[in-house]
Chains A and B, each alone.
Chain A
Amino acid sequence: MKNNKFQRIRLRVSSAGETLRFNAVCDKGFRTIKGIYVSLPQDKAVQGATLGFRLNNVEVLDDGHEVKNLTATNSVAPNNKFFLFPEKIEAAGGSIEGRYTDGSKYPLLVDNGEDSGVYDPGKVDFKNLAGYTTNPFGVVFPYDVIVNIWLTNEG
């Protein structure tokens, strides 16, 4: 049996700011998750997008984790494109629950009205999206996101 597998989860994002929840089960033939790479078809969709996931109900990446940190352009060598987790994440058939949030509302941010400037990402902080539902700022909908999870038996 091979030692490595790239398991893919494909998501379809249909509108600005959409949040997609997904579930998957890791291939049980592989012991650990080594890395992750998120593939997006449009550069403009990267800004502001977030992806978090839990494995067997343990947080691996929090929901506010920027997709920007999990992707790379074609200028990056193939062997360096994945974000490699700082430690071995035991996978072996574990269940993944994830959440992807589109970031294309980013240009619609509004001042949150707080003096400190530090804000709670959970708060509503976007302008009304009325009139921006089709193609607000250059991101074309729908688009597909492919979450590549690198499973391995090595090490």
Chain B
Amino acid sequence: MIHGYRFQKVSLRISQSGQRVYFNTESHKDFSVLKGIALSVGYENALFGSTFGFRVDEKKVLDESHEAHLLVFGNDIAPNERMLFFETPIPIHSSKLEGIYTDSALQSLLGNISYSPGGGVIAQTDVNVKKTYVSGKDIVSYSNAVVDVLPAYNASNVAVVGGGGTAMSGAGATAAAPPPGTPPPPVYYPYDVKITMFLSKQ
């Protein structure tokens, strides 16, 4: 016998600056609706700019640029309100649940040059981080940003490529120890992201 609800969880470990982590899992077979979702992120500083996309049976629920901080909560919130509850619960029957979390720490590398002379509005398709973390080859590249002031903690790992692009070794960004007197990096790696999905039988 099981109860009529379940908090199904997926844990992700973010090991690199700018890392994207994809997961897919199957909803528990005994539950028929997905009522809500919440994220729990290890470090608050990791939130700004981080995104989380979510699909159920290949249908988009949250697009990939959905901000992660819209799905988290603090301890100042009543425990029963710490979730994004869907207005209409999503029907599931051993459904495929997919998500993709993108770390934002590259945000600090965007620099101070306006990307768009047309008013600073950046099209959703022009997300700056193009190459994702693949098979341990942690190459992250920028297409639209010019980095002119780099944080000291990863400066040694950044090489400027022509045309305003920048390539960076994500591994170095986390491994290099800051020189004495340098402020600590805003995000510490690795950190965990826990996704909690509220399943119900009705």
**Chain A interface residues toward B at CB < 8 A:** 37, 43, 46-48, 58-62, 64-66, 68-73, 75-77, 80-87, 89, 106-107, 109-112, 115-119, 121, 125
A66 pairs with B5, CB closer than 8 A: no
A86 pairs with B42, CB closer than 8 A: no
B7 pairs with A83, CB closer than 8 A: no
Which residues on the A side are within 8 Å of B169 (C-beta)? none
**Chain B interface residues toward A at CB < 8 A:** 1-5, 7, 9-15, 19, 21-23, 38, 40, 42, 74-82, 101, 133-136, 188-192, 194, 196, 198, 200
Q: Bound state CA distance, A65 and B198, in angstroms?
A: 12
Q: Bound state CA distance, A116 and B196, in angstroms?
A: 18
Selected contact of B42 from candidates A69, A89, A106, CB within 8 Å: A106
Selected contact of A72 from candidates B7, B14, B75, CB within 8 Å: B75
Which residues on the B side are within 8 Å of A86 (C-beta)? 4-5, 198, 200
User: Which residue of chain A lies nearest to B20 when distances are taken between CB atoms in the complex?
Assistant: A117
Selected contact of A109 from candidates B75, B136, B190, CB within 8 Å: B190
Which residues on the A side are within 8 Å of B81 (C-beta)? 80
Which residues on the B side are within 8 Å of A121 (C-beta)? 11
| Nearest CB of B to A65, in Å | 6
| Nearest CB of B to A63, in Å | 10
B10 pairs with A110, CB closer than 8 A: no
Selected contact of B78 from candidates A64, A65, A76, A106, CB within 8 Å: A76
B76 pairs with A73, CB closer than 8 A: yes
Known contacts A83-B80, A117-B13, A117-B14, A68 near B5 by CB under 8 Å: no
Selected contact of B12 from candidates A59, A61, A119, CB within 8 Å: A119
Selected contact of B21 from candidates A77, A87, A89, A117, CB within 8 Å: A117
Which residues on the A side are within 8 Å of B23 (C-beta)? 116-118
5 further A-B pairs in the complex, CB-CB below 8 A; given A76-B78, A80-B80, A83-B80: A73-B75, A75-B76, A109-B191, A111-B190, A117-B14
Q: Bound state CA distance, A46 and B77, in angstroms?
A: 15
Which residues on the B side are within 8 Å of A61 (C-beta)? 7
User: Which residue of chain B lies nearest to A59 when distances are taken between CB atoms in the complex?
Assistant: B2
